Amino acid sequence: MTGQHGLLNHRTAGVGPNDTSTATSTPSTDSSSDLRSTDCLDVLIVGGGVCGTALLFELARYTDLQRLLLVERYDELAQVNSRATNNSQTIHCGDIETNYTLEKAIRVKRTAEMIVHYAELLDPQSRDRCVFRTPKMVLGVGERECRFLRERFETFSPHFPAMELLEKEQIADWEPRVAHRDGQLRHEELVAIGIRSTYTAVDYEALAASFVSEARAAVAGSDRQLDVELGTRVEAISVEHGLGGHQGHDDTTFLVTLGPTPGIGQGQRRQVRARHVVVNAGAHSLLMAQQMGYGLDYSCLPVAGSFYFTPDLLKGKVYTVQNDKLPFAAIHGDPDVRAPGKTRFGPTALLLPLLERYKPASFWEFLKVLRLDWAVLAVFWQLFKVADIRNYIVKNLLFEVPWLRRWLFLADARKIVPDMGLDDLSFAKGYGGVRPQLINKRERRLMLGEARIEALPGLVFNVTPSPGGTCCLGNGAADVEAIAERLGCHFDRGRLARELYGESSGTTAEQVVVAG
């Protein structure tokens, strides 16, 4: 869930000898007269993006938990980072992402393939709305980058057997506009690592909707209750400690005050009592955690990405080699799954003091999670003293100047399509989201991976992971494992392994391959 969530209170209220594992209602400890009576839940999920909805699906399909609730601030699912316009629509699995080590690539590949295995569970019409097959490559230009890619291919190809090492003529066969300039092969040395035909693109907004549909189907016809409430925000979370666990399980519960999002939601404020709470709200997860006194060792550095549209210049995804001195994504070109006939180039990387792009009011939330002190300033200094980073930040600021940005971006985009002209480029207005890059204040370093704040047993705050929505099912599976262990519910691990990891699934390798 995204946006303002209100003040989160951390207080302790004893609930007596009640056995909370049976979901028996306990009277509300809040005396406000406008609160409805307390409902009892097994799991409350905060946030209706692709990560929150993936967890809802896995809980519904693979456990026997009786009462599940997902709340989302907006009146539609997946309206922030999971929205189709706000991300690169890519399944990141480590084969063409040159900033991934082999270890990380192998780890991410397994979770990335979960999206493809999940898609195989869907009917063809639903599948075609969520995932898309295109070729993809990472392009090396010049001697240094080409040497790097040749070495990377030797290291990675045993683990990604679908990889192909492409010389200039082969690149021309795959992507003519990449390999040619003025009708002739480019004079620069070119090498690419390519993957010919796999599921490479995903509409994360459509994927989130499918997760909810499949979750509802999983509980249909049973006495289990699954609800999704839109236009609903969290106003407070209170911690309640019981007098003892049930059958060895922790009996801490959480009293959560919910209310309609101003200007969006309807209905009354009310309280729910949840045995387990998972917050999947992007940068707002950190805000909510810190309002409760957790995650104070982190600061947030929001990085916004902008995109540009061109005509249909590419047949598939074309990435470029990452500058290892830059903690930002290298430019790439992608056929847009929501805009047929157009290729989207980007992203730029703008340090933006907002938790949500195009939401000026989120500036005040940014100030809360920035938590500016000497540790944060030390990280800023470490970044700005590196010339490549400093120059990159300045250039990306200029990318936001309307009359100048197309000229500047054209020079970068021509690395991929050398014949691209200024008239081909148009700024993708309204596109691009914000990624919360976290700063570890204790270690004084910028974190490039995900953050998971386990505040208390049963209360978890997940900050937007890297590589983003690709790992939604993998991160959800980790949460399901923790929930099952804590609450003592049935968890059909074998079914999840067969359906989402493809273990003994009986499907062919071609059907489920992401990266080979």
| Side-by-side strand order, sheet with 350-351 | 350-351, 298-304, 434-440, 445-447
pLDDT for the residue numbered 36: 58
- Are 213 and 73 members of one domain? yes
Inside any domain, residue 102: no
Q: Are residues 304 and 276 in the same domain?
A: no
Q: How far apart are CA 346 and CA 309, in angstroms?
A: 9
Q: Kindly state whether residues 392 and 506 are assigned to the same domain.
A: no
471 lies in some domain? yes
Phi, then psi, of 423 in degrees rounded to 5: -70, -20
Does some domain include residue 489?
yes
| The predicted structure's pLDDT at residue 264 | 92
> Above 60 in pLDDT, residue 109?
yes
307 in the same domain as 404 = yes
Query: Which of 415, 441, 467 is at the close of a domain?
Result: 441
Q: Residue 280's domain is classified under what CATH number?
A: 3.50.50.60
Q: What is the tally of structural domains in the chain?
A: 2
Give the Cα separation of 122 and 259 in Å (integer).
Answer: 34
Interstrand relation of 190-202 and 225-230 (parallel, antiparallel or unpaired): unpaired
If pLDDT is split at 50, 70 and 90, which confidence band does 345 have?
very high
Average pLDDT, the chain: 88
Question: pLDDT tens, 283-316?
Answer: 999 999 999 999 999 999 898 889 999 999 999 9
Structure tokens at 437: 């890059």
pLDDT in tens, 156-203: 999 999 999 999 999 999 999 999 999 999 999 999 999 998 899 999
CA 38 to each of CA 7, 13, 205, 443: distance values in angstroms, whole numbers, following the listed order:
19, 15, 32, 42
Does 358 fall in a domain? yes
pLDDT digits (tens, 9 = 90+) for 11-48: 333 222 233 222 323 333 333 445 555 689 999 999 99
Task: Give the pLDDT confidence of 197-252 residue by residue, as tens digits.
Answer: 889 999 999 999 999 999 999 999 999 999 999 999 999 999 998 645 455 567 89
- Asked, for residue 32, whether it belongs to a domain, the answer is yes
How far, in Å, CA of 28 to CA of 35, rounded? 9
pLDDT tens readout for residues 132-159? 999 999 999 999 999 999 999 999 999 9
Specify the pLDDT at position 187: 95
316 contacts 200 by C-beta, under 8 angstroms: yes
Residue where the block lists tokens 């700005």 = 384
Residue 281 pLDDT > 60: yes
Distances (CA, A) of 383 to 155, 298, 404, 443, 496: 30, 17, 25, 15, 42
DSSP track, 37-69 = EEEEEEEEEE--SHHHHHHHHHHHHHB--SEEE
Residue 291 shares a structural domain with residue 385: no
Domain carrying residue 401: 299-312+338-441
| CA pair distance 503, 172, nearest whole angstrom | 37
What is the pTM (predicted TM-score) of this model?
A: 0.89
Whether the pLDDT of residue 449 is over 50: the answer is: yes
Q: Do 478 and 406 fall within a single domain?
A: no
Whether the predicted pLDDT of 508 surpasses 80:
no
Sign of the CA dihedral with 100 first, then 105, 108, and 109 last: positive
Residues 411, 364 within the same domain: yes
Q: How confident is the model at residue 124 (pLDDT cuts 50, 70, 90)?
A: very high
